[in-house]
Chains A and B, each alone.
Chain A
Amino acid sequence: MNITTIALPKGALLKSTIARLQAIGIDFGEFLEGSNRLLRLEDRSGRYEGLLVRAQDVPVYVAYGQAQVGIVGFDVLKEKQLPVAQVADLGFGHCRMSVAVKSDSPYRSVQDLPAHCRVASKFTTCARSYFEERELPVELIPLYGSVELAPLTGMAEAIVDLVSTGRTLKDNGLVELEKIFDSTARLIAHPLSYRLGRVGLHELLGQIQTAAVPA
């Protein structure tokens, strides 16, 4: 009955997320095994349940209260705009949301982009609000992956995407014009559960924040 559900993001943050939880004795290591097909695990104590979901879905599960706790990148929170409590910056998973163009393009800053140019992105909410703030009207092209291709084929003049090392951009002949924001992993919670604070939720949230993770 008094089980706390934690939503874990598939992808880049999963390893560090699992390490952080293991450091406080909550072991969802099975999610990392190559043969794993499970989407839902109970830890040994039986007090915690892990849900393995796509990063974009972490705030959804938490906003609807299906998970009381979640770990997800700030970029996803900015993009999804869902009502979740942002409890702490966990400091891992550094990356940045940036505007990039082809390195041989004439554009050297965002101001150089022509009005109504085409911008491809997986993060259309972030991209829209950024260009609206800049008062630069653009045509957004939503994509689901390999966004770097869009300027190469000529479909878009620019992209808005996450950059961590910059390798992918460079390898594809793209260059960063401007950083929109920095992103790191965030600890989030279901707002109502956070306010009610039952079943040791706040103790758990505190432990996740302060856990010493072996390097």
Chain B
Amino acid sequence: MYQPPTGVRDLLPLDVSQKLWIEQRLQRVFTRWGYQRIITPTLERMETLQASGSIDLQAILQLRDAEGVSLGLRPDPTPSLARAVATRLADAPLPVRLSYQMNVFRSTTQPQEFYQAGVELIGAGGVLADGEVLLVLADCLAELAPPDWTLILGAVAFTRSWLAQVAEPARHRLRRAMAELDRVAILAEAGIDEAVRSQLLLLFDLRGEPEIVLSKASSLPMSDAQRAELAELETLTGWLGGRSVPVVLDLSLVEAFDYYTGLIFEVSAGGRLIGRGGRYDHLLGSYGKPAPGAGFALNLEALQQVLLPTGKLPGRTAGGGFLVVPDGPAAWEAALAEADKLRRAPGDRVEIELLGRTGEEAIAYGRALGAAAVRWVHADGSTTDCDLAVIQ
């Protein structure tokens, strides 16, 4: 039999209803905060994807159009949004608040398609804008309430400024070690100043309650710029703390590549990583319209998996409504009219029996559908109900 290619899958009706349940809640939050939804094309020119500088080109699924132009399936929503803002929305007043729910594609060892939902706040920098992005995210999580959700917050520019004391190529290795949580590599790096090593190890180990982390970090010998960055983190974590948002401050959180420029964060729930985001003030410049930007993306498959055990997502039993069963061809006209009437009532779904099932057979079919009742319709327009919930 035919199978989908490895790494992609069908979403059957139950998966779709659960995905919609999540998407609708996220959309409500995005809308409340004034983030307007944008839909960008699935395909982008390779140059567009390349320009972001943040994407591993090997991870892009590529194809060619009829004229031989190299295209890629979007591996990430942000390059497309940045392109759209820099070109199509160039005259919009700043900041631009955009939200999306889209599928993205990655070719790792196998092609993969997955769904992301998130926001981008473009044209506003600074701690207030950072705060807004984090609070939109916290609002989304409060709405969905996945188990044990926590924001893990870092400050890339701050952490990177400590690595800047080390010359290349050791700096690159140390940054990679920091990003991959490889403490052994930091200890083993030869030829770096011991004072620098102990600072890096202190940063590596600095995570936990924001207040404690900030007070420990303030013991480092800091420049004014570094001190200002810590003060911003203190403001941000203060806002989050005041709203009881669970936060782990983690000053070792960096990426191995230069994409984020300030705030960086990950979202954990149910022991899994369900989203990430941060500030990327250089990205829009790559698309010809320099502007600060920040945003986050939630991974809908991961969210669905952590929400499933909570029993909040719509389950198999979701059904209700009527199965309308005509009592022979003479009752077809009356059955259509009866179903029309029922559909005008709010909520319930109404299905018509099309295959001529009657009696027990029709009742069994109604049960399989999850209908609340079977309504028999006779040729003269009269009806009899059979309540499936009661008979069971």
Q: A152 at the A/B interface (Cβ < 8 Å)?
A: no
A65, A86, A196: the one contacting B181 at CB < 8 Å is A86
- Chain A residues lying within 8 Å of B271, measured Cβ to Cβ, are 65, 192-193
- Chain A residues lying within 8 Å of B180, measured Cβ to Cβ, are 83, 85-86
- In the complex, what distance in Å separates the CA atom of A194 from the CA atom of B183? 12
Asked if B184 and A195 sit within 8 Å, CB to CB, the answer is no
* Binary per-residue interface labels of chain A (51-78) against chain B in the complex, 1 for a CB within 8 Å, 0 otherwise: 0000000000000010000000000000
- In the complex, what distance in Å separates the CA atom of A186 from the CA atom of B268? 26
Q: B272 at the A/B interface (Cβ < 8 Å)?
A: yes
Q: B266 at the A/B interface (Cβ < 8 Å)?
A: yes
- Tell me whether A192 and B273 are in contact in the complex, defined as CB-CB below 8 angstroms, given that A89-B187, A197-B207, A197-B208 are known contacts: yes
Q: A95 at the A/B interface (Cβ < 8 Å)?
A: no
A74 — nearest CB in chain B belongs to which residue?
B184
B152, B183, B185: the one contacting A195 at CB < 8 Å is B152
- In the complex, what distance in Å separates the CA atom of A185 from the CA atom of B205? 21
How many B residues face the partner with a CB closer than 8 A? 20
Asked if B184 and A86 sit within 8 Å, CB to CB, the answer is yes
Asked if B181 and A191 sit within 8 Å, CB to CB, the answer is yes
Asked if B184 and A89 sit within 8 Å, CB to CB, the answer is yes
A89 — nearest CB in chain B belongs to which residue?
B184
A189 — nearest CB in chain B belongs to which residue?
B181
Asked if B183 and A196 sit within 8 Å, CB to CB, the answer is no
Q: B182 at the A/B interface (Cβ < 8 Å)?
A: yes
- Tell me whether A86 and B250 are in contact in the complex, defined as CB-CB below 8 angstroms, given that A192-B271, A195-B152, A197-B208 are known contacts: no
- Tell me whether A195 and B182 are in contact in the complex, defined as CB-CB below 8 angstroms, given that A65-B272, A89-B187 are known contacts: no
Asked if B185 and A192 sit within 8 Å, CB to CB, the answer is no
- In the complex, what distance in Å separates the CA atom of A193 from the CA atom of B150? 11
Asked if B182 and A196 sit within 8 Å, CB to CB, the answer is no
- In the complex, what distance in Å separates the CA atom of A196 from the CA atom of B271? 9
- In the complex, what distance in Å separates the CA atom of A85 from the CA atom of B188? 15
* Binary per-residue interface labels of chain B (225-256) against chain A in the complex, 1 for a CB within 8 Å, 0 otherwise: 00000000000000000000000101001000
How far, in Å, is B235 (CB) from chain A's closest CB? 22
How far, in Å, is A206 (CB) from chain B's closest CB? 10
Asked if A196 and B272 sit within 8 Å, CB to CB, the answer is no
A85, A88, A196: the one contacting B152 at CB < 8 Å is A196
B152 — nearest CB in chain A belongs to which residue?
A195
Q: A87 at the A/B interface (Cβ < 8 Å)?
A: yes
- In the complex, what distance in Å separates the CA atom of A189 from the CA atom of B152? 17
B150, B184, B248, B250: the one contacting A88 at CB < 8 Å is B184
A-B contact pairs, 19 of them (CB 8 A): A65-B272, A85-B181, A86-B181, A86-B182, A86-B183, A86-B185, A88-B184, A89-B187, A192-B266, A192-B268, A192-B271, A192-B273, A193-B271, A195-B152, A195-B250, A196-B150, A196-B248, A196-B268, A197-B207
Known: A191-B181, A195-B266, A196-B268; 15 extra A-B contacts, CB below 8 A, are A65-B272, A83-B180, A85-B183, A86-B184, A86-B185, A87-B183, A87-B184, A88-B184, A186-B184, A192-B272, A192-B273, A195-B207, A195-B268, A196-B150, A196-B152
> Chain A: residues with CB nearer than 8 A to chain B?
65, 83-89, 186, 189, 191-197
Closest 10 CB pairs of A and B: A85-B181, A86-B182, A86-B184, A89-B184, A65-B271, A195-B152, A191-B181, A195-B250, A192-B268, A87-B183
